[in-house]
Every structure is written in structure tokens, then in C-alpha cells.
């Protein structure tokens, strides 16, 4: 075959591939539209369905920002976000977040907290942020715990927004434009995260809880508050803030703003008494909480050497910057914290004679912590084996 014939053959092949992809994409969109219409029709009476559908289609963006209706239940594909997924978006069982048609450079990205209230991503993205999580499995009598990851925070939203606009993963060093930004210290839930909690509360209401342990960071406290606010046994549940189950110290959102947070939740059901019991101070509890004694000594020395009188949260943020893109706290030491948490919860169950076949223990924490908590331990090379990957606001039964 001549070069020109081979070139024409390759061109026809590419054209056929493109046509096939377009047909598949068209089928995919039709199936998504069909699902959306089915979802809408269930909530609209037969007599007014046509009128309401016209109104919703005309004002879809406005409606989306007001109520954030859920139309998709796929998880985000973590491999795709990292640039590692080998499947097409049609073949992958998980959701591929979209990259905008004309990606921008990281220096063109607006990482400000204010800009994150502008939901300018496409509708499929917004639907996916407010997804509902039908539990993967129902708890058995042997499962003592219901593990819950916090809902979408402003920091999480900034990460997905950055990927959508630039096509660059959160694991890329270029993502520093938002990952160390001071205004994301102890980031709050994004409005989409609040809606995510409301969408998933009905699943939590199916479980009977004795106690719910919560990380002291703002996003976990807000998640627990919204998820459980209409729980049928709310007044009988104890909500205890447990310092051990905070996130790995890595990025800006993992740095605590505890004094403000405690003030924000002073009239809530959250019990902060473990800070006194563990003799953790309000200012440097995150340092006291670390399992690595060398790191604790180093950070204390950094505080003593500071001549500017910086708040400890800013000193910790400086350390996150020095360690970036690696974590300040090592995963092996995070794993030690998860073991301490498990032992504390088991002792708590025994001391309070809790029948966990009837009443469960909740644990509202973070992606890194829960992945280590569900790990099978350390591999021969000393690295911690990866545990379960949790999506925002996902609940999962677990047996220690």
C-alpha cells in the first residue's frame, strides 16, 4: 500500500471512530435526558406536568442554583481526575468530570473564596456534586460503626473547579494556587455540600445511633449537624468531638481554626469535653494530636522561635507550604492515629455497654483518615495499604 493510500485509510478509520463516538455520545445524552425526565415526572402531578416542565426548562440554571436537584448518582472517577483512567467516559462505571472547551492556565484561575459561590460549571457537574449515595450495603449486626465522610467543602469545590477550568489534577504541583490559600483554612461546607447533606439525610435516618464521633474541623461538624438535624432519635444521640479522627495534616483545609469553630457551635449538641480530658489546648491541639514525636518537637520549636507572634494556624500553614506537595504528617503516623481511634471507640462501647447490633456508632471524618482507618495495615515495605476511598457525604458500615 502506498503512503497516500495508507494515509487515506487512517483518515477513514479516524472518521469512523469519531462518528461512532458521536453516536455513542448521542445515545448517552438521550439516556441521561430520559432519566432526568423520569425523575422530574415523579414529582409533578399529571394535570400540571406539561406546564411545569416548560417552566423548569426555561429557568433550568436559576432552578439549579436554588434547589440543586439531583439527577445523577455516579461517583467521581478518582483515576480520571489524576489523569490515570484508561476508560472512556461511556465505559467507565464512574463519573468523568468535564474539562471546559478552552482550558485556562493555572495563573488565570480565580481561587478566591468569593468566586466559588458562582456555579458556572455545566449542569452535569452540578448534578454530580449534589449526588445521593444509596448505601453500598446495609449494616450487619457485626458492624459497630457507620463511617461518614464530610460533604463537599469550599476547598473540595475549588479543586473540582480548578480541574474543570484547567484540566490539571489536584495532585499536580500547579494546583498550589488554591491548595495553600489562607482563606481556605478549616474550610466550611460549600452550599452544594449543604444540599448534598440534605439529599443523603434520609439514608442516615434509617440507622439507630447511640453516639456519633465527629472530627473537630468545621466541615465535619457542619456535615453532622445537617445530616442528623431531622433524625427521629436526634435528642437521644450523643455527639462527641473526637480530636483523634481529624484529617491528615497536609493542605490548608486541614489546619484548624478551633477557637472560631467552637464559638460557632457553642449552642449545638456537640460535646467538646474530650479536649479537656485529653489535656489538649485550644491553640495547639493539632500538634498535641500528632503521633510523630519528632514532628511535634519540631513544630513546638518553630512556635517558640517565631518572633512575629503568628497564630499557630498560620505557622502550621507555613509548614504545609514547606512540605507541599507532600503531607506534613506521614501516612504511617496517620495510621497510628486511626489505631488509637479504634481502641478508644472499642473501650467506649465496652464502658457504656452499647449493643452495637441495635445501636450503631457514627464516625464523621475525612477522606485521608477514613482511607487509613479502613486499611488492612502496613505492607512489607512499610507503607500503609490503601483502604476504602470515600466520596463526599458517603456513609459505609464497618466492623473494627
Task: Give counts: helices (H), strands (E), the chain.
Answer: 16, 6
What strands, in cross-sheet order, belong to the sheet with 145-149? 270-271, 238-241, 209-214, 360-365, 145-149, 395-398
Give the mean pLDDT of 137-163.
Answer: 93
Which residue carries 478551633 as its cell?
Answer: 258
Model pLDDT for residues 224-279, shown as the tens digit of each residue: 999 999 999 999 999 999 999 999 999 999 999 999 999 999 999 999 999 999 99
Cα–Cα distance measured from residue 22 to residue 58, given in angstroms and rounded to the nearest whole number: 26
Give yes or no for residue 166 having a pLDDT over 50.
yes
Mean pLDDT (the chain) is 82
pLDDT at 80: 80
Pairing of strands 270-271, 145-149: unpaired
pLDDT at 353: 98
Distance of CA 281 to the CA centre of its chain: 27
Q: Is residue 331 part of a domain?
A: yes
Model pLDDT for residues 381-395, shown as the tens digit of each residue: 767 888 998 989 999
Model pLDDT for residues 281-339, shown as the tens digit of each residue: 888 999 999 999 999 999 999 999 887 888 999 999 999 999 999 999 999 999 999 99
Residue % of the chain over a pLDDT of 70: 78
Which residue carries 512556635 as its cell?
Answer: 303
Cα–Cα distance measured from residue 306 to residue 311, given in angstroms and rounded to the nearest whole number: 10
Cα–Cα distance measured from residue 184 to residue 203, given in angstroms and rounded to the nearest whole number: 30
pLDDT at 278: 92
Q: Is residue 253 part of a domain?
A: yes
Q: Is residue 166 part of a domain?
A: yes
Distances (CA, A) of 394 to 78, 81, 147, 197, 201: 15, 19, 8, 9, 11
Cα–Cα distance measured from residue 37 to residue 16, given in angstroms and rounded to the nearest whole number: 31
Classify residue 216 by burial, with Cβ atoms within 10 Å: 0-12, 13-18, 19+: buried
Q: Which residue has the higher pLDDT, 175 or 36?
A: 175
Rounded to a whole number, what is the distance in angstroms from the first to the last CA of the chain? 65
CB 188 within 8 A of CB 218: yes
Cα–Cα distance measured from residue 76 to residue 392, given in angstroms and rounded to the nearest whole number: 10
Q: Is residue 11 part of a domain?
A: no
Per DSSP, the three-state class of 355 is coil
pLDDT at 308: 83
Domain count, the chain: 1
Instruction: Give residue 308's domain range.
Output: 128-398
Q: Is residue 202 part of a domain?
A: yes
Q: Which residue has the higher pLDDT, 61 or 222?
A: 222
Q: Is residue 232 part of a domain?
A: yes
Classify residue 243 by burial, with Cβ atoms within 10 Å: 0-12, 13-18, 19+: buried
Q: Is residue 123 part of a domain?
A: no
Model pLDDT for residues 61-80, shown as the tens digit of each residue: 333 333 333 334 456 777 88
CATH number at residue 137: 3.40.50
Q: Is residue 391 part of a domain?
A: yes
Q: Which residues of 184-207 are buried (b: 16+ CB within 10 A; e: fewer)?
A: bbbbbbbbbbbbbbbbbbebbeeb
CB 372 within 8 A of CB 154: no
pLDDT at 241: 98
Per DSSP, the three-state class of 397 is strand
pLDDT at 65: 37
Give the mean pLDDT of 121-129.
Answer: 67
Q: Which of 115, 81, 118 is nearest to 97 (CA)?
A: 81
Q: What confidence tier does 82 reach under pLDDT thresholds 50, 70, 90?
A: confident
Cα–Cα distance measured from residue 219 to residue 187, given in angstroms and rounded to the nearest whole number: 6
Q: Which three cell numbers stand for residue 316?
A: 502550621
Amino acid at each position: 500500500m502506498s503512503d497516500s493510500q495508507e494515509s487515506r485509510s487512517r483518515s477513514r478509520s479516524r472518521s469512523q471512530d469519531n462518528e461512532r463516538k458521536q453516536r455513542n455520545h448521542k445515545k448517552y445524552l438521550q439516556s441521561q435526558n430520559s432519566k432526568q425526565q423520569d425523575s422530574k415526572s415523579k414529582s409533578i402531578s399529571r394535570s400540571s406536568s406539561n406546564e411545569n416542565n416548560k417552566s423548569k426548562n426555561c429557568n433550568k440554571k436559576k432552578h439549579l442554583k436554588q434547589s440543586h436537584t439531583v439527577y445523577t448518582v455516579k461517583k467521581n472517577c478518582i483515576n480520571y481526575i489524576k489523569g490515570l483512567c484508561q476508560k472512556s467516559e461511556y465505559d467507565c462505571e464512574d463519573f468523568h468530570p468535564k474539562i471546559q472547551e478552552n482550558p485556562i492556565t493555572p495563573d488565570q484561575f480565580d481561587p478566591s473564596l468569593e468566586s466559588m459561590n458562582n456555579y458556572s460549571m455545566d449542569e452535569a457537574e452540578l448534578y454530580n456534586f449534589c449526588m445521593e449515595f444509596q448505601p453500598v450495603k446495609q449494616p450487619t449486626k457485626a458492624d459497630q460503626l457507620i463511617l461518614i465522610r464530610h460533604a463537599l467543602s469550599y476547598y473540595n469545590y475549588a479543586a473540582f473547579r480548578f480541574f474543570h477550568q484547567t484540566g490539571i489534577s489536584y495532585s499536580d504541583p500547579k494546583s498550589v494556587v488554591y491548595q495553600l490559600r489562607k482563606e481556605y483554612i478549616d474550610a466550611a461546607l460549600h452550599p452544594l455540600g449543604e444540599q448534598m447533606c440534605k439529599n443523603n439525610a434520609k439514608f442516615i435516618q434509617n440507622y439507630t445511633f447511640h453516639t456519633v464521633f465527629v472530627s473537630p474541623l468545621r466541615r465535619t461538624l457542619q456535615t453532622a449537624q445537617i445530616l442528623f438535624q431531622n433524625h427521629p432519635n436526634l435528642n437521644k444521640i450523643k455527639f462527641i468531638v473526637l480530636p483523634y479522627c481529624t484529617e491528615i495534616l497536609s493542605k490548608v483545609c486541614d489546619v484548624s481554626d478551633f477557637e472560631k469553630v467552637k464559638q460557632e457551635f457553642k449552642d449545638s449538641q456537640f460535646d467538646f469535653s474530650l479536649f479537656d480530658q485529653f489535656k489538649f489546648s485550644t491553640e495547639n491541639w493539632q500538634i498535641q494530636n500528632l503521633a510523630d514525636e519528632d514532628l511535634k518537637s519540631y513544630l513546638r520549636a518553630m512556635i517558640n522561635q517565631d518572633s512575629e507572634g503568628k497564630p499557630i494556624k498560620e505557622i502550621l500553614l507555613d509548614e504545609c507550604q514547606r512540605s507541599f506537595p507532600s503531607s506534613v504528617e506521614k501516612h504511617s503516623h496517620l495510621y497510628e492515629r486511626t489505631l488509637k481511634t479504634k481502641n478508644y471507640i472499642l473501650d467506649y462501647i465496652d464502658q457504656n455497654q452499647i449493643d452495637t447490633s441495635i445501636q450503631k456508632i457514627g464516625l464523621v471524618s475525612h477522606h485521608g483518615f477514613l482511607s487509613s482507618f479502613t486499611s488492612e495495615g502496613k505492607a512489607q515495605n512499610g507503607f500503609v495499604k490503601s483502604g476504602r476511598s470515600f466520596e463526599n457525604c458517603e456513609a459505609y458500615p464497618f466492623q473494627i
